[in-house]
Amino acid sequence: MAGPDLPVINMGPLVEVAGPARARDDLARRIDEACQEAGFFSVIGHGIDLDLFVRLERAARAFFRLDEEEKAAIAMDRGGRAWRGWFPVGGELTSGVPDGKEGIYFGAELGADDARVRAGWPLHGPNLFPDRPVELRTAVLAWLEAMTGLGHALMGGIALALGLERDWFAHHLTADPLVLFRVFHYPATVAGPADPAGWGVAEHTDYGLLTILAQDETGGLEVRSPAGWVEVEPTPGSLVCNLGDMLERMTAGRYRSTPHRVRRGSADRVSFPFFFDPAWDAEVRPVPGLAPGAQKRATWDGVDLHAWTGTYGDYLRAKVARVFPELGQTALGRP
């Protein structure tokens, strides 16, 4: 799946206001193939201003160069139920193992008067922004807006790929999507006895519907394929997309939530995963008319994905409490 082996999909027919039906049909077919065979694909023609990514990367790197005392001014334990802010290297767990990365959690910017915030919904509320660099705030908010629009467009393409109306997901799950955005920094490392694998993030799958990843040129993302682990090489101007557990569940295993991991290298790496997920109170039901596919018995952390029932918020609450166990006890309890 390195280089040209990762499916590359031109999003033009979906992001344009009008376009030929034949082009959309061909795009839907290519999305369907990628979702069945790989669960990962790269998109071009997405309409995202690349200058925005340059500004976002520059501001993120400037923040991570600050000393830890200054970064801790926006530590996650100050974000409360909104689940926002900075965590240090080793502060996040995957499969119970500390990650070799630091990062900042962001989400949709919601004020105290928002009905979801007043109701005490976890992962809803204001973001925490540092005093410097001041550019980080504007870049993050602009990126959130751009990625939310692209998420809707991509889910429209996935709906067409499944033989549904283009707005099927918007009607049933994502009229008010839960959007989560992470800015990650993987410090350079040299693998040795204390860190034999050099892992930034251990093997896992994503929780929701769709992840849209922007990354620098360093590389390190690896995807599990039938032939073994393969590296997804960065391509300038493209965005990497992968499917989450909820989409595999909804499609009865037709589409794959593919395990992946991140290997640290000899150079610093920054990455920007954006998660486009069902609404917090949405009940995640199967897509109608699909026969069961190659179902997997459980997710990477032992949850029986196809036996689980409930709202997406219930599912996500349990997941993120495992990522930050101590914070999960205080911030993610029921209101």
The tens digit of pLDDT for each residue in 83-101 reads 899 999 988 888 778 889 9
pLDDT at 1: 36
- Mean pLDDT in residue range 61-86: 95
Give the pTM: 0.91
- Position 124 pLDDT exceeds 60: yes
- Mean pLDDT in residue range 56-75: 98
User: Can you read off the two tokens belonging to residue 84?
Assistant: 């926002």
Residue 215, strand partner residues: 271
CB 9 within 8 A of CB 240: no
Range among 56-65, 92-101, 277-286, 313-322 with highest mean pLDDT value: 56-65
User: Can you read off the two tokens belonging to residue 249?
Assistant: 């569940």
User: pLDDT, tens digit, for every residue of 247-291?
Assistant: 998 998 899 899 999 998 889 999 999 999 999 999 988 898 876
309 vs 155, more confident: 155
71 vs 188, more confident: 71
CB 203 within 8 A of CB 261: yes
Strand order in the sheet with 221-225: 199-204, 260-263, 221-225, 228-231
- Position 102 pLDDT exceeds 70: yes
Question: What is the per-residue burial (b if ≥16 Cβ within 10 Å, else e) of 108-125?
Answer: bbbeeeeebbeeebbbbb
How many CB atoms are closer than 10 A to CB 275? 23
pLDDT at 3: 42
Q: Tell me the pLDDT band of 2, cut-offs 50, 70 and 90.
A: very low
Q: Tell me the pLDDT band of 19, cut-offs 50, 70 and 90.
A: low
203 vs 306, more confident: 203
- Mean pLDDT in residue range 212-224: 93
pLDDT at 297: 47
pLDDT at 39: 92
Residue type, 160: L
81 vs 240, more confident: 240
pLDDT at 186: 95
User: pLDDT, tens digit, for every residue of 104-122?
Assistant: 999 999 999 999 999 989 8
CATH class of 3-331: mainly beta
pLDDT at 164: 94
- Position 293 pLDDT exceeds 50: yes
pLDDT at 28: 92
User: Can you read off the two tokens belonging to residue 261?
Assistant: 């991991």
Percent residues over pLDDT 70 in the chain: 86
| Mean pLDDT over each residue of the chain, to the nearest integer | 87
Domain coordinates of the chain in residue numbers?
A: 3-331
User: pLDDT, tens digit, for every residue of 156-196?
Assistant: 999 999 999 999 999 999 999 999 999 999 999 865 444 54
Neighbour-count burial of 334, counting CB atoms closer than 10 A to its CB (0-12 exposed, 13-18 middle, 19+ buried): exposed
- Mean pLDDT in residue range 209-222: 95
Q: Distance between CA 24 and CA 41 in Å, rounded?
A: 17
- Mean pLDDT in residue range 309-321: 82
